[in-house]
Amino acid sequence: MLEHGGGLRAASRRYGIALEDWIDLSTGIAPWSYPVPDIPAAVWQRLPEDDDGLLDAARAYYGTAQLMAINGSQAAILALPRVFAPRQVAVLAPSYNEYAPAWRAVGHEVCECTADEILHSAADVILLANPNNPDGMRFARQDLLAAAERLRAGRRWLIVDEAFADADDEHTLVQLAGTQDAPNLIVLRSAGKFFGLAGARIGFCVARPEMFTRLGRQLGPWPLSNPARYVAKVGLGDTAWQAVQKQMLRETSVRLAQLLATHGLAPCGGTALFQYVSCAEAVMLHDFLARHGILVRCFDIPSALRFGLPANEAAWTRLALSLTEWRKK
Ligand SMILES: Cc1ncc(COP(=O)(O)O)c(C=O)c1O
């Protein structure tokens, strides 16, 4: 299994700090989740049904009808390599660490490309995240569209993972994916990050309908559980909550960037859900913060830390105090 943020239980054992005493900044999941409604007993009891209203809510939220509900965008990240015959695939690096192994595992030839290289790659499939995780790098919408157009001429594909695009949506391509204008464009979306519902495993693939048939064969029936469908339907339709969430996340992320800069850790990138700090002492600072019960995500190549958003004032105070102590060392 690859490393991801959120391993609080393992951190608790390793550092001997009780689970409830941790501040978990190791993920890009919103610290305030959509207030999950009571779930009717019938929803638990019955099998999922396609016409339960989830797709209508998702169509309105994403502004496209070309979508398929899946159990987290991770499900598509693992299944998409299986719907293509082995070919050359260009994957953005550094980025979400699941991409390259998923394609390599089923025989594709994977080339890891930097952000400068990837859109000019000659590969048959180009896969990137926008905004990127962990560094928050953004590809401009017009550059992606030009790349999709070029790729289309050679019957090649562009896959854009927009897991972090809900509150950073200026370059989203979700409304174009799988349309006549961009039939070779596939967009992945997640309800885990912005809605703070990562545990429910809710995601969407936006593409041409034939792709859903092929994906469906990989994912089998009922990829998304009925309770998850119910919660997603309500959350995707709650535009008032979404507007407040978007503003709160953006403001909080700016506050985080400021706090980090005050402590000599000015971020070099970020999104509304995290800040990314390039730092030669990343491993040491990660360990130092963990000893203070604060879990952040550490990357070795390049050496960097990713900070998620603190959930409350107590967490802000503890983070500020720990960073002050770190600077005094
Ligand atoms: C860029 C990116 N895409 C996709 C995922 C998977 O998200 P989901 O919870 O929708 O499966 C993650 C998880 O961290 C991610 O960082």
CB of 132 within 6 A of ligand 1: the answer is: no
- Give the DSSP per-residue string, 259-299: HHHHTT---SEEETTEEEEE-TTHHHHHHHHHHTTEE-EEE
**Do 315 and 296 touch, CB atoms closer than 8 A?**
no
Task: For domain 8-33+240-328, give the CATH superfamily.
Answer: Aspartate Aminotransferase, domain 1 (3.90.1150.10)
Which stretches of the chain drop beneath a pLDDT of 50? none
Residue 6's pLDDT is 81
Q: Which atom of ligand 1 is nearest to the CA of 193?
A: 9
162 within ligand 1 shell (Cβ under 6 A): no
pLDDT at 123: 98
pLDDT tens per residue, range 301-313: 899 999 999 999 9
174 burial via Cβ count (<10 Å: 0-12, 13-18, 19+): buried
pLDDT digits (tens, 9 = 90+) for 57-76: 999 999 999 999 999 999 99
Atom of ligand 1 nearest to the CA of 95: 1
Give the pLDDT score at 1: 64
Domain boundaries, the chain: 8-33+240-328, 42-237
pLDDT of residue 4: 81
For 328, the token pair is: 């005094």
Into which CATH architecture does domain 42-237 fall?
3-Layer(aba) Sandwich (3.40)
